[in-house]
Chains A and B, each alone.
Chain A
C-alpha cells in the first residue's frame, strides 16, 4: 500500500511464511516497474523488475505480479527470513523514455521469529 506523511504501512509476518507487499501506481503510461529493498542506513537495493508487456516474473524466492487493468503491482516473498526485514519500495518509469524512476512511499516488512 501507499503511505501518507510519516507513517509507513507495516506488514508483520512470521519467519517462514510468505509475504505479499502491494503497490498502486497512477500513471497508465508507465511501462517499467522495479521493486527495491532498503535496509536501515543503506541505499535502496534492486530486487526484481518487470516490463508492462508481462504479468508475472519470478526470481529467487521473489515473484512480481503486474495488473495493468487496476494499475497494481505486488511483490511476493517466499519463506521469509529475518534478513528480509526492510522497507520495500515499488518504483515506476513513466513514459518509457530516459526518465528517472518515481518511487512509492514504501512498506515496512517486519519478520517475527
Chain B
C-alpha cells in the first residue's frame, strides 16, 4: 500500500483565494482525520470522519474551513477565502479502528503558504 496520499505537497496562494487540499486514505481504513500543524499550536485536530460521515468538526477554526468525504477513498479540506494566518502544514491521517489501536497513519502533509 502506498500509504496515505496527500496533494499537493506545497501550495502557495494569495490571500482571498480558495484552497483545496486532497487526501486518499489507506484502502480499507474507515476513519479519516485532518490535522493542522504550526509552530505555535502544534498538531491540532480539525475534523474527523467515520465511514465517510463527519463526526466531530469542533476543531475547524472558522466557517471558511470545510471538509468533505464523498467516498471511502477520497477527502478534501477547503479554505475559502484563505488568509495568511491559515499558513501551516495540513496532515491527513487514516486508521482502521476508531478510538485507537495501532495508531493512525499520517500522510506527508501539504505545506500551505498564504501571502
Is the beta-carbon distance between B105 and A103 smaller than 8 angstroms?
A: no
Is the beta-carbon distance between B102 and A46 smaller than 8 angstroms?
A: yes
Is the beta-carbon distance between A44 and B48 smaller than 8 angstroms?
A: no
Residues 22-47 of A contacting B (Cβ, < 8 Å): 32, 34, 36, 41-46
Rounded to whole angstroms, the CA-CA distance of A104 and B27 in the bound complex is 28
Rounded to whole angstroms, the CA-CA distance of A49 and B108 in the bound complex is 21
Interface residue tally for chain B (C-beta within 8 Å): 29
Rounded to whole angstroms, the CA-CA distance of A51 and B100 in the bound complex is 9
Interface size class of chain A, counting residues whose CB lies under 8 Å from the partner chain: 20 to 34
Residues 84-107 of B contacting A (Cβ, < 8 Å): 91, 93, 98-107
Residues of chain A whose beta carbon lies under 8 Å from any beta carbon of chain B: 5-6, 32, 34, 36, 41-46, 49, 51, 89, 93, 96-106
Residues of chain B whose beta carbon lies under 8 Å from any beta carbon of chain A: 4, 31, 33, 35, 39-40, 42-45, 48, 50, 55-56, 59, 91, 93, 98-109
